[in-house]
Every structure is written in C-alpha cells, then in structure tokens.
Amino acid sequence: QVQLVQSGAEVKKPGSSVKVSCKASGGTFSSYAISWVRQAPGQGLEWMGRIIPILGIANYAQKFQGRVTITADKSTSTAYMELSSLRSEDTAVYYCARGGAQLPRPFDYWGQGTLVTVSS
Amino acid sequence: EIVLTQSPGTLSLSPGERATLSCRASQSVSSSYLAWYQQKPGQAPRLLIYGASSRATGIPDRFSGSGSGTDFTLTISRLEPEDFAVYYCQQYGSSPPCTFGQGTKLEIK
C-alpha cells in the first residue's frame, strides 16, 4: 500500500523559509513524479511544482519560480519542498501527491497535508 | 496554460438525487487527460475519475465521468450522504503545469 507521510505543522515569520518533507513507502519512489499542491484557507487547489526523482529534474509553476525549490532523496524515498521569502498569503495546507513521470498520470496518492502558518 | 472553469460553484441537492457537475477547459485537453477529485473538510483530495471516464480503484459505480476536448462532466447518479463534498477537476496532460478547476461545492439541500 502506497503511503505519503508529510512532516508536521510549521509556524514561520514573514521573510523566512519553510521546508516540508514527504516520505513515500510501499511503492517505487523513483518511477513517479512527486508534485506539491497547496490550498489556502477556504480556497481551491494550486499546483506549485514537481520533481521526477529518477531524473532529478524539477519543474515549477511560473508563480513560484525563484521562490520554491523541490528536491528528492532517492536513498530515503523522501521529497522536499522549500518555500522562501514567506508572506502571510503563503499560509496554507501543503500537500505532496504522486503523479506520472514520463507519461501523464493523475494524482492517485496524496500526503495528509502540512499546515504552514506565516505570522509575525 | 489551460484554464479550467467549473460550474456551478455550489450545487444544492438532496440524497437520492442526481448530480451533474461541469468542467470546461480554455483549450482542448490532450488525450482526455482529465481527472476528478473529491475533497471533504480536513482531508486530502481523493482521486475519483481519470482519463475523463475511468473510475479509480474502489470508487463506487454511481460516480461516472464523460466528455472530451474542452467539455467534461462528472455525474453522481444517486447521491449518498457521504457524497456531499467539494469536487475539483484537473487536467494533467500538459503537465507541467497541471491545473485545477476552482471547485464545485455539493451541499445538502
């Protein structure tokens, strides 16, 4: 059974950075892409970017270019999302999700979500 | 970037009724790479439909998807109490970036 387990909730100051982890188990980590999707309070889903661990290639949504870095550690089957220059509008639940690497696939498994609160 | 527009924003129905949710794309979605997700409060989204019309593992057959090109529909044939939630469509064929619709809230009338 595939599981994605994320790190715990974070409270950050404006201007700082946050790094959220997503540990995969039960599947072949490197064969898929891991995407990061965020959801602000009461809002919809917003794709931030993804990484293909087997290639080490990351792609980012234009909105987050320069502010987000997605990495993966194949040895521990863990993906990371680091968001810098945090502002109050970044307060959201951040999800990791498994999708396709070389072929398009929907997001069939999701992490439980990590609440990041940005507040002074 | 493909923009997905869902309608209606809110749908009020009673258990046992039929629900029809719409998702319209700003340009054609390649090979019908269109998915539907259900999200309940405090939970991660759950994949319901992929490839526009294929049910994901464990999804009841009262859920069905249809459509191609720019117009897609999610139908719930007979609403159960647990079906009241928010539903999102997603195109994943032109990923990156994939995009989501803004969601349809299905509420109890």
pLDDT digits (tens, 9 = 90+) for A55-98: 889 999 999 999 999 999 999 999 999 999 999 999 999 999 99
| Among the partner residues A47, A107, A108, nearest to B99 by beta-carbon distance | A47
B82 pLDDT more than 80: yes
pLDDT at A48: 96
For an interface test with A, the pick among B92, B98, B99, B102 (most A C-beta atoms closer than 10 Å) comes out as B98
Nearest to B30 by CA among B85, B87, B70: B70
Contact A44 B35 (CB under 8 A): no
CA distance B36 to chain A (A): 9
End-to-end, the C-alpha distance of chain B in Å comes to 36
Averaged pLDDT of chain A: 94
Contact B44 A113 (CB under 8 A): yes
CA distance A1 to chain B (A): 13
Confidence band for A1, pLDDT divided at 50, 70 and 90: confident
Distances (CA, A) of A26 to A2, A44, B45, B50: 4, 29, 20, 22
B31 pLDDT more than 80: no
Taking any CB pair shorter than 8 Å as contact, residues of chain B touching chain A are: 31, 33, 35, 37, 44-47, 50, 56, 88, 90, 92-93, 95-103
pLDDT at A27: 79
Mean pLDDT of B52-79: 96
CB A22 within 8 A of CB A12: no
Confidence band for B95, pLDDT divided at 50, 70 and 90: low
Give the residue on B whose Cα is nearest the Cα of A51. Answer: B96
| Among the partner residues A44, A59, A100, nearest to B100 by beta-carbon distance | A44
B97 pLDDT more than 80: no
Structure tokens at B9: 């924003």
pLDDT at A102: 81
DSSP B29-72: PGGG-EEEEEE-TTS--EEEEETTTEEPTT--TTEEEEEETTEE
pLDDT at A30: 77
Return the half-sphere exposure (C-beta side, CA atoms, 13 A cut-off) of residue B68.
1
Mean pLDDT of B16-26: 97
